[in-house]
């Protein structure tokens, strides 16, 4: 029997463990070549801060339910047993009379119902806005993680494209190195061109190594934001032309403060604080409650074994009214304090509007500047390609020196990398503009 019981426990544990592992496997599945939208969707389901915000939202709902539970009847039961070592006495006339018996016991069931209570009124009025506040906190987390994932995604793609450019650059330099060596062996030139090519190749390979190491970090950061485990592979899928098509944003859109989640959060906080002010006024109201109890009393002098032979029931139905009359001006001071806190939130709203306007102006100016830089960088790439191809032909014909060719090569690589940096800056700037305008929203309210 012991062996059978142990085997069942092992099977149950194994089954639960397998089920848990399957659940984790499902929750942590992402496509082999993830697009930006897939990364965002995955992050919204698996990223720690988003999940914590969702849990906080559920905790808030339980807090509200707990606070509002005071409106329901509160039922309690109390039981007691006493052995009176010395029975209390009292003098009536000239006689000393004992009051009570050796063994006493009681069981009391009581129900209390709140009818008027300032704290419960406050909880009822604030419940709606507390739910809204928790939902807004969740949406704020979603917005922040969406922007962060998008920027990290674009940063990884930019780095990968830069490495591809460097690989092309290394291929050209290796060919130049072979040509320089051939020219040297044939006696057309001295060994200077060959050594310069070697130096350029070493520096370029070192740069590639540095960028590869940085790419590992950028992938790790993206995994952290997305919520992918360390051991799980993550590859990205993207379309370069599509990325260029996603750069544009409507710069004529007017700023509306109501679209910003931070502004909505402050408005909700303002409403909650107003309810707190009302609560401090409600504290002048009385507390009114009703109660009903039913009790069984037992008492005897003949020993504990006979205590519960006969019961003496009693029952009471009543109403309690409690009126706080004077508390040393505490309630008045609390009302004044709460009004000052309301006024402070009003100033927070004014300050936030100014900050949002500044953020919008900065994001818009940065985006426009980055967009102009990108257009310039794109033109420079085409020009540098033409210059390199021309100088390469002239070098092969012996018209230009290797130094000229190396300069053209460096210029080409620089313009290509600048183009990618400008592309990332525009895409990142677009996200900042959208966030400033409040266009990144999940309608969680």
444 found inside a domain: no
Q: Per-residue pLDDT tens for 247-292?
A: 888 888 999 999 999 999 999 999 999 999 999 999 999 999 999 9
Q: Are residues 245 and 346 in the same domain?
A: yes
Q: Are residues 35 and 100 in the same domain?
A: no
Q: Are residues 90 and 49 in the same domain?
A: no
Q: What is the CATH number of the domain that holds 415?
A: 1.20.1600.10
The most confident of 23-37, 188-202, 399-413, by mean pLDDT = 399-413
How many domains would you assign to the chain? Answer: 2
Q: Are residues 187 and 304 in the same domain?
A: no
443 found inside a domain: no
Q: Are residues 36 and 137 in the same domain?
A: yes
Q: Per-residue pLDDT tens for 4-63?
A: 433 433 444 444 344 434 443 445 577 778 889 999 999 999 999 999 999 999 999 999
Q: Kindly indicate the confidence band of residue 347, based on its pLDDT and cuts at 50, 70 and 90.
A: very high
Q: Are residues 165 and 103 in the same domain?
A: no
Give the separation between CA 258 and CA 255, rounded to whole angstroms.
9
CA distances from 278 to 267, 269, 281 (A): 17, 14, 5
- Percent of the chain residues topping a pLDDT of 70: 92
CA distances from 277 to 24, 267, 281, 291, 350 (A): 47, 15, 7, 30, 21
Q: Are residues 87 and 214 in the same domain?
A: no
Q: Mean of the pLDDT values across residues 177-195?
A: 77
Q: Are residues 169 and 136 in the same domain?
A: yes
Q: Are strands 312-322 and 287-300 parallel, antiparallel or unpaired?
A: antiparallel
Q: Mean of the pLDDT values across residues 60-86?
A: 94
Token readout for 89 is 């006495």
Mean pLDDT of the chain: 88
49 found inside a domain: yes
Does residue 188 register a pLDDT over 50? yes
Q: Per-residue pLDDT tens for 299-326?
A: 998 888 889 989 999 999 999 999 988 8
Give residue 14's pLDDT: 46
Q: Are residues 302 and 423 in the same domain?
A: no
Give the separation between CA 53 and CA 367, rounded to whole angstroms.
31
Q: Per-residue pLDDT tens for 196-241?
A: 888 889 999 999 999 999 999 999 999 999 988 888 888 888 776 7
Does residue 184 register a pLDDT over 90? no
300 found inside a domain: yes
Q: Are residues 135 and 156 in the same domain?
A: yes
364 found inside a domain: yes
Q: Are residues 60 and 139 in the same domain?
A: yes
Q: Which domain holds residue 97?
A: 79-114+288-322
Q: Are residues 263 and 357 in the same domain?
A: yes
Q: Per-residue pLDDT tens for 430-444?
A: 999 999 999 987 754
Phi and psi torsions of 306, nearest 5°: -100, 5
413 found inside a domain: yes
């Amino acid at each position: 029997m012991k062996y059978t019981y142990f085997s069942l426990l092992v099977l149950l544990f194994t089954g639960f463990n397998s089920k848990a592992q399957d659940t984790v496997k499902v929750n942590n599945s992402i496509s082999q070549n993830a697009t930006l939208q897939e990364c965002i969707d995955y992050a919204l389901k698996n990223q720690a801060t988003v999940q914590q915000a969702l849990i906080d939202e559920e905790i808030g709902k339980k807090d509200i339910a707990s606070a509002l539970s005071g409106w329901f009847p509160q039922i309690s039961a109390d039981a007691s047993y006493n052995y009176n070592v010395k029975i209390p006495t009292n003098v009536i006339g000239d006689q000393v009379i004992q009051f009570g018996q050796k063994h006493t016991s009681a069981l009391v069931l009581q129900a209390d119902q709140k009818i008027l209570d300032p704290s419960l009124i406050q909880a009822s009025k604030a419940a709606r806005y507390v739910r809204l506040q928790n939902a807004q906190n969740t949406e704020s987390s979603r917005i922040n993680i969406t922007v962060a994932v998008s920027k990290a995604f674009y940063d990884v793609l930019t780095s990968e494209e830069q490495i591809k450019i460097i690989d092309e650059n290394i291929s050209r330099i290796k060919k130049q190195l072979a040509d320089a060596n051939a020219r040297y062996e044939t006696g057309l030139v001295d060994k200077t061109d060959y050594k310069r090519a070697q130096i350029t190749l070493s520096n370029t390979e070192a740069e590639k190594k540095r960028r590869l190491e940085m790419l590992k970090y950028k992938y790790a950061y993206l995994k952290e934001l997305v919520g992918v485990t360390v051991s799980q592979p993550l590859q990205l899928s993207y379309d370069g032309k599509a990325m260029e098509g996603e750069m544009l944003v409507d710069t004529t859109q007017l700023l509306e403060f109501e679209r910003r989640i931070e502004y909505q959060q402050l408005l909700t906080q303002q409403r909650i604080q107003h309810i707190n002010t009302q609560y401090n006024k409600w504290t002048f109201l009385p507390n009114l409650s009703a109660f009903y109890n039913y009790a069984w009393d037992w008492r005897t002098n003949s020993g504990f074994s006979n205590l519960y032979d006969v019961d003496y029931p009693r029952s009471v139905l009543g109403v309690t009214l409690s009126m706080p009359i004077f508390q040393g001006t505490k309630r008045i001071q609390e009302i004044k304090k709460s009004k000052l806190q309301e006024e402070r939130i009003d100033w927070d709203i004014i300050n936030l509007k100014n900050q949002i306007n500044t953020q919008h102006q900065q994001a818009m100016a940065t985006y426009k500047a980055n967009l102009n830089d990108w257009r310039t960088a794109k033109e420079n790439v085409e020009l540098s390609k033409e210059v390199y191809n021309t100088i390469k032909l002239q070098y092969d014909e012996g018209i230009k020196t290797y130094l000229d060719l190396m300069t053209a090569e460096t210029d080409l690589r620089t313009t290509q990398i600048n183009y990618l940096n400008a592309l990332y800056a525009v895409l990142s700037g677009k996200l900042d503009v959208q966030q400033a305008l409040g266009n990144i929203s999940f309608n969680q309210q």
